[in-house]
Chains A and B, each alone.
Chain A
Amino acid sequence: MKSAVITFPGSNCNRDMAVALEKITGNKPEMVWHQETNFSDVDFIALPGGFSFGDYLRCGAISARSNVMKEIVKRAKAGVPTFGVCNGFQVLTETELLPGALMRNAGLRFVCRDVHLRVDNNTSMFSNAHDKGEVIKIPVAHHDGNYFASEDKISALEDEGRVVFRYCDANGDVTKVANVNGSINNIAGVVNRKGNVLGMMPHPERMIEPALGGSDGVKLFQSVLNTLG
C-alpha cells in the first residue's frame, strides 16, 4: 500500500502521520507539498493535523483552495481513499468532500487531552479492524472541532451509518459530559457516502505504540491496510 501525506504551511502532524503509516503499512509515504499540482499514483492520501495557513479566514479554508487539493478532490471523487485528521478534517469539509463544518469549541477553549471514542461503524475501510461499539482512547488537540451540519445532513449521516466515531465516556456511553467540543450527536468522525473519505478530529496517529501512551490508534491504519493490502 502506497500512501501520500500532504503538507501545508502550518501542518504539524505530518511527520506523526508519516511515522504511523510507515510503521503499520511498512512503506514510507510520499510527502507532498501543497503547491504540487500532481503526485504519484498512491493508494491512500492523508491530510494531517496542524494549523495550516494559521487558520486564517476559517480553519482549513485556504488549504482547501490550494493546488494540491484540486488534485485530491478529483482523486477522492474517483474513489481514492482519503483520510483527514483534525485540520485535515476541516480541509475535507471546506472542500465539501465531507458534509458540515467544524466550528469553535462550545467551551471556547483549546482542548488537548485523551478522549474516549466509540466505534459506531465497523464496516468502513477505516474501521473494519474494530469491533462494533468498541471504546478506544486517543488524543484530541483542537480549538475548532465542534461538528455542525444542517438537520437534514445530520439525519442522512445517522440513517446511513456514516458516523464512524463518537465521543463517549470510558464505558462507551455517549454523554454530554464526554462531548469535548459540543459536536452535534457527539460526532467525532464521519465518512462520505461512498465510504472512501474519512474525517475525524481525534488523532489516531498519535497513539500507535505504548511509548506514546497507548496503541488504540493502530487499528484505523490496520483497517486501511486490511482493505487495500
Chain B
Amino acid sequence: MKARIHVTLKNGVLDPQGKAIEHALAGLGFDGVNEARQGKFIELELAETDKDKAHAAVEDMCKKLLSNTVIENYSIDLE
C-alpha cells in the first residue's frame, strides 16, 4: 500500500519561503495569486495491507517524526 503524506505549516505560522514564491510569481506577471504556502510531500511504500492499521501506523509516524506538530499539520492519503 502507498501512503502519501502532505506536511504543511499551520495557519498563523509565518512562511517566508511561501512569501518569496508569492513575490517571484508576481514578478513573472502571474497576477491573482493571493497567497503561497510551501509544504512537503512524502511518499511511503508500506508492507501493511489493512487500511485502518496502515492509517494508524502512518499517523504515528507523522506525530513522531514526519511532522513537527508545533508548527505543522499533516494529511494522509492511502492507496
Pairwise interchain contact A150-B70, C-beta atoms closer than 8 A: yes
The size bracket of the interface on A is: 20 to 34
Q: Does A119 contact B (CB under 8 A)?
A: no
Which residues on B sit within 8 Å (CB–CB) of A104? Answer: 16-17
Pairwise interchain contact B70-A103, C-beta atoms closer than 8 A: no
Pairwise interchain contact A61-B16, C-beta atoms closer than 8 A: no
A 103-129 binary contact with B (CB < 8 Å = 1; else 0)? 111111000000000000000000000
Q: Does A217 contact B (CB under 8 A)?
A: no
Pairwise interchain contact A101-B70, C-beta atoms closer than 8 A: yes
Instruction: Provide the bound-state CA to CA distance between A61 and B7, in Å.
Output: 14
Which residues on A sit within 8 Å (CB–CB) of B13? Answer: 103, 148
Which A residues contact B (CB, under 8 angstroms)? 57-58, 61, 65, 93-94, 99-101, 103-108, 146, 148-150, 182
| 9 sample A-B contacts, Cβ–Cβ < 8 Å, listed by A number | A61-B65, A93-B70, A99-B70, A103-B16, A104-B16, A104-B17, A148-B71, A149-B70, A182-B16
